[in-house]
Amino acid sequence: MSPFETEVQLAGSGPESYFSMVIRRLLKHKLAVISLGILISILIFCFVVPLFFKYEPTYSDFSYLYGSPNSRYLFGTDNLGHDTFTRLMYGGRISLIVGFSAAILPIIFGIIVGAFAGYYGGVLDNILMRITDAFLSVPSFPIYMALAKVMGQGVINIILVFSFLGWMVDARLVRGMFLSLKENEYAEAAKAIGVSNLRIMFRHLLPNAMAPILVSVTLTVGGAILSEAGLSFLGLGVPSSTPTWGNMLTNAQQDIFIAPRLVIWPGIMIFITVLSFNFLGDGLRDAMDPRLKL
């Protein structure tokens, strides 16, 4: 007889990590799968395809302004003779980098603030949450304008501004998670073993808070791409000489009647990307909630 005679068959069908469970469930979510496919295509379009493409984004063909699409310029050219196809790819790079950075930096800051507030509670929680409230009460638009003036326009600056003004919602989300997670008996068990507070917070509780955090990040990426477009449109974002989807929209606005496709292409890229991020976020939320039957 085996030494494990008392053992019952394992409950599950086999070893399945949480990660593979999420992937399996996500793959059942049609819209999310399509969105993921679209996003991967867009990433390849922006980051891989340009490596094999002949034009630089700054290359101007002055003999072919407002050019219609042809075999040389697949999507035509703009008012300065830039190849729209090339600029969509390079513009997408900046827009996506801004989007990702503007989602990841604030979530990191939000996690730190929210984790300490929720875990320790009491006075620390009070102080941190009042600071958060104060930041939430700052009218962000005038601040964008002021900071753009002070720091100048630029990709890094816009990421910093978004991060500076974007961590509060994440901090509140994480705080709420930690408030309830810390009541779990496994947190008490860790304490009983002698695990330090920091390790309990970031090794035990954080992985259990990852689901809503990831969803929030996904949704924020889309939001940040939109905001970048909006700010660029107002001349507060990335300098207009640098192609981003937002800048392409902006530059094309006066030509909307002459060459509507110059508005339509970047518009479609922004729309599809943001929508895909939102669908993916919804799909992740459902996939990560094991109580939900898919």
Partner 1 sequence: MATRLVEVQKLKKWFPIKGGVFSTTVASVRAVDEVSFFIDQGETLSLVGESGSGKTTTGRTMLKLLQPTSGKIIYKGKDISKLTPNQMRPLRRNMQIMFQDPYGSLNPRMPVGDIIREPLDVHSIGTRKERQQAVATMMETVGLRPEYERRYPHEFSGGQRQRIGVARAIIINPELLVLDEPISALDVSIQSQIINLLQELQQRLNLTYLFIAHDLAVVRHMSDRVAVMYLGKIVETADNDELFDHPFHPYTQALLSAVPVPDPDVKRERIILQGDVPSPINPPSGCHFRTRCPYAMPICKEQEPAMIEVAPGHTVACHLLTRK
Contact residues toward partner 1 (CB under 8 A) are: 3-4, 6-8, 10-12, 15-18, 184-186, 188-196, 199, 204, 207-208
List phi, psi (to 5°) of 82. Answer: -70, 145
Nearer to partner 1 by C-beta: 209 or 269? 209
Residue partners of 138: CB distance under 8 A and separation at least 6: 165
User: At its nearest, how many Å lie between partner 1 and the CB of residue 180?
Assistant: 12
**DSSP 8-class letter at 115:** H
Nearer to partner 1 by C-beta: 10 or 150? 10
Residue partners of 103: CB distance under 8 A and separation at least 6: 217, 218, 220, 221, 223, 224
User: At its nearest, how many Å lie between partner 1 and the CB of residue 182?
Assistant: 12
Nearer to partner 1 by C-beta: 97 or 206? 206
3-class state of residue 83 by DSSP = strand
User: At its nearest, how many Å lie between partner 1 and the CB of residue 259?
Assistant: 53
User: At its nearest, how many Å lie between partner 1 and the CB of residue 16?
Assistant: 8
User: At its nearest, how many Å lie between partner 1 and the CB of residue 130?
Assistant: 15
Nearer to partner 1 by C-beta: 48 or 189? 189
Give, for 272, the enclosing helix (H) or strand (E).
Answer: helix 261-288
Asked if residues 190 and 196 have their Cβ atoms less than 8 Å apart, the reply is no
Nearer to partner 1 by C-beta: 10 or 51? 10
User: At its nearest, how many Å lie between partner 1 and the CB of residue 15?
Assistant: 5
**DSSP 8-class letter at 7:** P
CA 6 to each of CA 1, 2, 9, 13: distance values in angstroms, whole numbers, following the listed order:
10, 9, 10, 19
User: At its nearest, how many Å lie between partner 1 and the CB of residue 134?
Assistant: 22
Nearer to partner 1 by C-beta: 21 or 169? 21
Nearer to partner 1 by C-beta: 4 or 52? 4
Asked if residues 47 and 93 have their Cβ atoms less than 8 Å apart, the reply is yes
Closest by CA to 262, choosing from 140, 96, 83, 133, is: 83
CA atoms within 13 A on the CB side of 115: 21
**DSSP 8-class letter at 110:** H
